[in-house]
Amino acid sequence: MNKLISVTCTFGLSFFIFNSYTTAQFRSNSKGSTILQEDYNIKLVGKREFFINILLSKKIKVKILDSAGLKAFSKITLPEPFDQTYIYHNSEIRNSGFFISNFKVGNFDATIINENSLPKKANIKQETKKIISVGIDGYFGNLEQSIYNIDNIKIGDILEINYNILIPYNGNAENIVNIIFHYTGNIDKLTSFRLFFNSIFEKEKFDLKISVEKGMIANIFDFNNAKPDSIIDTDKEKIYKWHRNNLSGCINEEGSRPYLSLPYLLITIIPDELHYTIPNSFIERNMPLYVLAASYRERRFLPILQGINNGVVTKQFLGIYEFIDKETSDIKNDSTGLIKFTKLNSSIVDNFTYNNDKNYFLKEDVAQENLGEYTSNNTLRDISRYNLYVAILFKLGLGPYSAYLVDKRFGEISSDFVAPMFDSDFLLCPVTKTGRISFIYPKKSRFGYYVSELPFYFENVKTRLVWQDDYNYYKDSIKETFRYVITPTSSLLDNERKNNVMVNVDIDKKSTTFNGRIILKGQYSTLIRGVYLYNYKDQTINELYNKKIYDLNNYVKVNKNEVKIVERGFPFKSEINVQYSCDSLIKKNGDTCLLSLKKWFNHIIYKNIDTSNRQQSFYSDFLGIDTYVYMVNFNKNVEIYSMPSMINISNEYGDLIIEAEKIDSNNIKISSYFATKAEVVLPNKINLVKSIFNNIDKLNNSCIKFKTLN
């Protein structure tokens, strides 16, 4: 990593316009399109918050190679994220995303060159899409996107697009107030962001120019060979230029972490409003960027902390205190308070309903938060999901610190990369007098996590600890020390899923009944039990985690789905008992029958890993063991023609054992054992991963071919 400048401002922004498709559409061997030439010209003007504008012009020349590429470029949405790898973590109702307010598209032109090199004007139809998303002010914002539909391009054409757009740093100049205490517009999206050179399409030529008005204060950091080719300093601006050839379209490779290997820029902007003078001195400094983000998130805690600290007694505080007393009256010896909080958190996870506060975000519910009243009714509001935990922890003498972090699949928190501090979930970190640290991830649906239970993407991750006095103490300088702690991690033996199922097949009725028991430990419990409990699905992870064992087809009838939480502490063991049936799994053709095994073995895999030109290392979600055992009983004696093949693979990435055997005349046992042993697999060894995944996929689409015996 290199820092290009530290005092003189340089700031750049580039918008990738290819989000009209889903990433999954390009996870096959399809190339989609090839970008022949891409030119960015980015200009940053203005110095103060409400007068900073980003002027972007872009020209792109792309060859449409197949139907996937045609779909991608026939509908272009502006503005689009400059960081294609960003993952938002927030409650579903908030609909978090890269949504910009008050942008203006100056012009959008497109020309089509057909296979005979004849140019023609593209037929462009522009439409405006309304976006419903909770904005930085805490309510659904009045947001829009501009969509440009091109209906006369076809496969084999070359499409040239040319547009410019103005993006205001803060798009609500009529609300000029102190930036630290109240800010609006696009500050959360544009204060700290990343620009990757690669995209999902190959780029033959890529040119980027960033022009920055003199006098601005900002930083540009380059990573993974992203240094500029030239820097030109004039009287009015600094100009930074980059040129790259043959950039691979690999940013969405399955299991990759682009920030670890692909070239990108981390760009921060510091408006003049962030200058301050250290108390009792003449020393001027720039506020650390974390202050801007943390003040927005944490200022809502101050009334709660002050009320509890000052012994305020109101109906709302009493409701919280009564909940604490009711749940912990049986706990006599707890010098740290952590035992009490663990029980309180378990009660919130297990017993509290969740109110998504839609009416509040629509400004239809204008009532107060009423934190104590909702707590007494065992209800957690979305707007209170952090406040309740903070109140309880502070009352119990456990702080807490706020622990800001980044999903390790797309980055790491730092003093400069603070974007997730604005718009993504963070943790609460109580620290006992003995120094014991715990992590709390407040629930954001009916499902919730127990104390120190974290999804894999928040495991073994650096967190920035923030305390109110770090930036809210007016007699001293703002704390700039990066105080951090690493979240817990888990091992291969900690994470386990066992699926054991008895299957009864009635050949004449063509019916199949299942009686299964599933044991989940570690990450498998964290990620999967919510699916069985409340149909809660984490949309940021592999969709196979969200598949129940009985999700075979639309004809399945579920008779039993019982979940038992065995351990509310690590490794969070849970047991699930299921009974289900299906009448569409058996097909007859004369004397021959087929029993479909499709979707019986949903090990967590990616189906279409491209090994021909892998650029990035493959990262496992976590290490663990996943097993399926099916005992299949036919109601008649059968002769087996074919079953799944026996497989025994052991390599650096993992182990896979598939066994199928006939126990007796009418019983078959089919099992699969999949252990993930390696956290990282280098690009030149990606075939180790693919060989295991291919065999699992083959098993999960197999069948048993048999005939009945007289």
Q: Which residues contact 471 (CB under 8 A, 6 or more apart)?
A: 287, 288, 290, 291, 294, 295, 478, 479
In whole angstroms, give the CA distance from residue 470 to residue 494: 37
The answer, yes or no, to whether residue 16 has pLDDT greater than 80, is no
The answer, yes or no, to whether residue 683 has pLDDT greater than 50, is yes
Average pLDDT, the chain: 90
Tens-digit pLDDT profile for residues 641-667: 999 999 999 999 999 999 999 999 999
Tens-digit pLDDT profile for residues 68-127: 999 999 999 999 888 999 999 999 999 999 999 899 999 999 999 988 888 999 999 999
The answer, yes or no, to whether residue 22 has pLDDT greater than 70, is no
pLDDT over 70, % of the chain: 93
The per-residue pLDDT for 4 is 42
**Per-residue H/E/C for 224-261:** CCCCCCEEEECCCEEEEEEEEEEECCCCCCCCCCHHHC
What secondary structure does DSSP assign to 352-388, as a single string?
Answer: -EEE--HHHHTT---S---HHHHHHTTEEEGGGTTHH
The per-residue pLDDT for 679 is 97
In whole angstroms, give the CA distance from residue 449 to residue 568: 9
Question: What element of type H or E holds 564?
Answer: strand 557-565
SS3 296: helix
The per-residue pLDDT for 115 is 85
The per-residue pLDDT for 18 is 32
Q: Work out the burial of residue 432: count CB atoms within 10 Å of its CB; fewer than 13 is exposed, 13-18 middle, 19 or more buried.
A: middle
The per-residue pLDDT for 8 is 33
In whole angstroms, give the CA distance from residue 247 to residue 232: 25
Q: Which residue has the higher pLDDT, 365 or 222?
A: 222
pLDDT over 90, % of the chain: 74
- E strands, 651-702, in order: 654-664, 667-676, 680-681
CB 643 within 8 A of CB 672: no
SS3 264: strand
The per-residue pLDDT for 117 is 86
Strand-pair partners of 364 = none
Confidence band, pLDDT 50/70/90 cuts, at residue 469? confident
Confidence band, pLDDT 50/70/90 cuts, at residue 475? low
Confidence band, pLDDT 50/70/90 cuts, at residue 457? very high
The per-residue pLDDT for 14 is 32
Q: Tell me the mean pLDDT in the region 216-238.
A: 93
Tens-digit pLDDT profile for residues 272-319: 888 888 888 888 888 888 888 888 788 889 889 999 999 998 999 999
Q: Tell me the mean pLDDT in the region 401-426.
A: 95
Q: Tell me the mean pLDDT in the region 585-606.
A: 95
CB 103 within 8 A of CB 168: yes
Helix 387-395 / helix 302-309 crossing angle, nearest 10 deg: 20
Q: pTM score, two decimals?
A: 0.92
The per-residue pLDDT for 362 is 93
Buried b (16+ CB within 10 A) or exposed e, 355-383: bbbeebbeeeeeeebbbbbbbbeeebbbb
Q: Which residues contact 42 (CB under 8 A, 6 or more apart)?
A: 12, 13, 14, 54, 55, 56, 57, 208, 209, 210, 211
CA distances from 462 to 413, 451, 620, 662 (A): 7, 18, 18, 51
Q: Which residue has the higher pLDDT, 199 or 50?
A: 199
Question: What element of type H or E holds 55?
Answer: strand 53-64
Q: Edge-to-edge strand order for the sheet containing 53-64?
A: 119-121, 104-113, 158-168, 53-64, 33-45, 202-213, 237-247, 230-233
DSSP 344: H
Q: Work out the burial of residue 402: count CB atoms within 10 Å of its CB; fewer than 13 is exposed, 13-18 middle, 19 or more buried.
A: buried
Confidence band, pLDDT 50/70/90 cuts, at residue 474? low
Tens-digit pLDDT profile for residues 671-682: 999 999 999 999
**Strands 264-270 and 217-223, sheet pairing:** antiparallel
DSSP 219: E
Question: What element of type H or E holds 304?
Answer: helix 302-309
Top-ranked range on mean pLDDT: pick from 9-13, 137-141, 142-146, 521-525: 521-525
The answer, yes or no, to whether residue 49 has pLDDT greater than 90, is no
CB 658 within 8 A of CB 646: yes
CA distances from 463 to 387, 406, 489 (A): 20, 8, 13
Question: What residue type is assigned to position 540 of the chain?
Answer: T
Q: Tell me the mean pLDDT in the region 205-214.
A: 94
Q: Work out the burial of residue 107: count CB atoms within 10 Å of its CB; fewer than 13 is exposed, 13-18 middle, 19 or more buried.
A: exposed
Confidence band, pLDDT 50/70/90 cuts, at residue 17? very low
The tokens 């530290």 sit on which residue? 6
The per-residue pLDDT for 92 is 95
Q: Locate 596 and state its tokens.
A: 């479909």
CB 76 within 8 A of CB 54: no
Q: Which residue has the higher pLDDT, 6 or 709?
A: 709
The per-residue pLDDT for 421 is 93
Tens-digit pLDDT profile for residues 242-265: 999 999 999 999 999 999 999 999
The per-residue pLDDT for 173 is 44
Query: Comparing C-alpha atoms, which of 291, 296, 289, 295 is closest to residue 269?
Result: 289
Confidence band, pLDDT 50/70/90 cuts, at residue 9? very low
The per-residue pLDDT for 274 is 85
In whole angstroms, give the CA distance from residue 94 to residue 383: 10
Q: Which residues contact 105 (CB under 8 A, 6 or more apart)?
A: 78, 146, 163, 164, 165
Confidence band, pLDDT 50/70/90 cuts, at residue 479? confident
The per-residue pLDDT for 477 is 79
Give how far the C-alpha of residue 568 lies from the chain's centroid of Cα atoms, to the nearest Å. 25
Q: Which residue has the higher pLDDT, 563 or 212?
A: 563
The per-residue pLDDT for 175 is 44
Give how far the C-alpha of residue 405 lies from the chain's centroid of Cα atoms, to the nearest Å. 12
Confidence band, pLDDT 50/70/90 cuts, at residue 29? very low
Tens-digit pLDDT profile for residues 172-195: 544 444 554 445 578 889 999 999
The per-residue pLDDT for 285 is 84
* CA atoms within 13 A of residue 530's CA, in its CB half-sphere: 19
CB 684 within 8 A of CB 618: no
Q: Which residues contact 354 (CB under 8 A, 6 or more apart)?
A: 379, 380, 382, 443, 444, 445, 446
* CA atoms within 13 A of residue 65's CA, in its CB half-sphere: 12
